[in-house]
Structure 1
């Protein structure tokens, strides 16, 4: 099973380092799914990985739901904030350099360090602001995890949104203006639809990144599939590590393939 874990890491490394076509995420996802299907079809209950799953099936399902919930909330908030910030940067040119500088700086902070930096101020707020305490804000758990995930997710969203909106042809916008469209109509009916494929690429990158980073959030009590990974590492149980790592890999590949295909279909002349 240790060799299987090394093979899994090699597949992830290959996916990250090589410039691959859109078929590769789908092929890798199908390969992982095939392994799970073979285990179920041939009744391989003797496998330690299957035994781990059978012993913790409810905990596993709860972890999957929590993992997806954290990713979904973080990406949704990042998209809204990223779109608003990108539009402000287009309106106020001076904001561009400072905003990108802050977002780039956030990307350089290690995730564990960011979780640690958030612990003390959030704990203080929870202790001194009763409303926040009642809402469940604390130094550990979901709150710091979401703040960190949103902070890491903003850069690709803002960058792709800003570039996408800027790259819309001025001739196209001028033609829309000549047709009598007002400023708001030109944005919602012309600029945003044309920018949507590039914007979706930012969402794709952000979501795949968030799926991986959410695993680290288990160290501060946020739950998710990272719980199995770190418990397995602590017990030197590679089967438990795989129980957390394989679903994360499958989620990342599925999102990468799905959003990538959607972005390609929305491009002018793309497959529909």
Structure 2
């Protein structure tokens, strides 16, 4: 295993300091008698007990000590400690629930406070930092995240985490949750499909008619300058008018609110990354490669489909990555105009002052964005020339 840097790792030191500060200065978790009454916060020592809290802080201090004079063995030790931090995270929640919520209080619920969320957040950042300092062959860094998912899943399945407020919100809205997931994915998929179709067509048009480039990018940049809420609002009136005078649109379910204005706005926002990346990628293919393909007797279609497009595909996929992440976030905002998606939970929670309901919508949105980023990044690497 090769060490990439032998100097003191200031990133690890900073993250450890922030993690310790958040644990000591903020509440770790809270308990509510029911959904309505405010919760009571518990600091780290009150939530987990002295032994667990001291062990947790000792692990963080050891991480900082190893970061002062990093070595190959030291980074392996850091990776082990970070994995243990991730594994104990759901276990600490189960322990808090076991010690602080009596079995006879069926309506009581436990909430995750600043310290708990911060510990998970900084542990994941630490994992990313330490992984970058180790040779690519060190694939066992995945054991920490996989163990986190496995332990969390087992504790949820066994019922130890059932009193968590987030899980209580899900259990009371499970059918709505899966409907929101389908609606969210449907809007994002539709926006990505239409923007890819129109974006590639516009990029090919620009390639054939270079004088149109300034006008096309000017219009697409203009859409980007309009705030999302304003664009959603601007589409309500014309779509309402068209739907009121067109039985066909009414049959298709197109109205001034709902999925139609959301999809149109998402496509408008998504076109710029697709058109820009596709146009740049197609034009960046070396002229010598194209001439060689023509010299081999390839037709114009063969040159495009077998040479130019495969070489441009990684950059096009990067545009799709940006588009998908942007669309996933904006779809949540589209709940304000009646579109289905996780945004409905977010805005309901904000209106009710129920932060766990907000998290029920926000966390899946974040997970979808991370999955889209990982998927398209992996595809772009796979289709790199000489890799796939």
**TM-score with structure 2 length normalisation?**
0.63
1:3, distance to aligned residue in structure 2 (A):
2.3
The equivalent residue for 1:208 is 325
Q: Deviations for 1:118-142, whole angstroms, at most 9, x for unmatched residues?
A: 0000001011222222221110001
Provide the C-alpha distance between the structure 2 equivalents of 1:232 and 1:4, rounded to a whole number of angstroms. Answer: 21
Query: Among 137, 151, 156, which residue is 1:40 paired with?
Result: 156
CA contact (8 A) 1:228 1:241 kept: yes
CA contact (8 A) 1:32 1:250 kept: no
Q: Larger Cα Rg: Structure 1 or Structure 2? A: 2
1:238, distance to aligned residue in structure 2 (A):
0.8
Query: Among 253, 272, 280, which residue is 1:155 paired with?
Result: 272
CA contact (8 A) 1:176 1:186 kept: yes
**TM-score with structure 1 length normalisation?**
0.89
User: Greater share of helix residues, 1 or 2?
Assistant: 1
Indicate how the Cα distance of structure 1 residues 244 and 215 shifts in structure 2: closer, same or farther if over 3 A, else same. same
Provide the C-alpha distance between the structure 2 equivalents of 1:263 and 1:131, rounded to a whole number of angstroms. Answer: 40
2:341 pairs with 1:230: no
How many residues in Structure 1 have an aligned counterpart in Structure 2? Answer: 263
Q: Deviations for 1:39-73, whole angstroms, at most 9, x for unmatched residues?
A: 51552111111101111111101101110011001
What is the DSSP-based 3-state SS (H/G/I as helix, E as strand, rest coil) of the residue aligned with 1:223? coil
Q: Kindly indicate whether structure 1 or structure 2 has the higher relative contact order, using CA contacts under 8 Å at least 6 residues apart.
A: 1
Provide the C-alpha distance between the structure 1 equivalents of 2:230 and 2:145, rounded to a whole number of angstroms. Answer: 32
Provide the C-alpha distance between the structure 1 equivalents of 2:214 and 2:382, rounded to a whole number of angstroms. Answer: 32
What is the DSSP-based 3-state SS (H/G/I as helix, E as strand, rest coil) of the residue aligned with 1:234? helix
The equivalent residue for 1:71 is 188
Indicate how the Cα distance of structure 1 residues 72 and 4 shifts in structure 2: closer, same or farther if over 3 A, else same. farther
1:37, distance to aligned residue in structure 2 (A):
2.5
Indicate how the Cα distance of structure 1 residues 178 and 107 shifts in structure 2: closer, same or farther if over 3 A, else same. same
What is the DSSP-based 3-state SS (H/G/I as helix, E as strand, rest coil) of the residue aligned with 1:269? coil
Provide the C-alpha distance between the structure 2 equivalents of 1:164 and 1:133, rounded to a whole number of angstroms. Answer: 40
- Point out 4+ residue stretches in structure 1 off by more than 4 angstroms: 4-8, 20-23, 26-36
Identify unmatched segments of 5+ residues in structure 1.
Answer: none
Indicate how the Cα distance of structure 1 residues 122 and 240 shifts in structure 2: closer, same or farther if over 3 A, else same. same
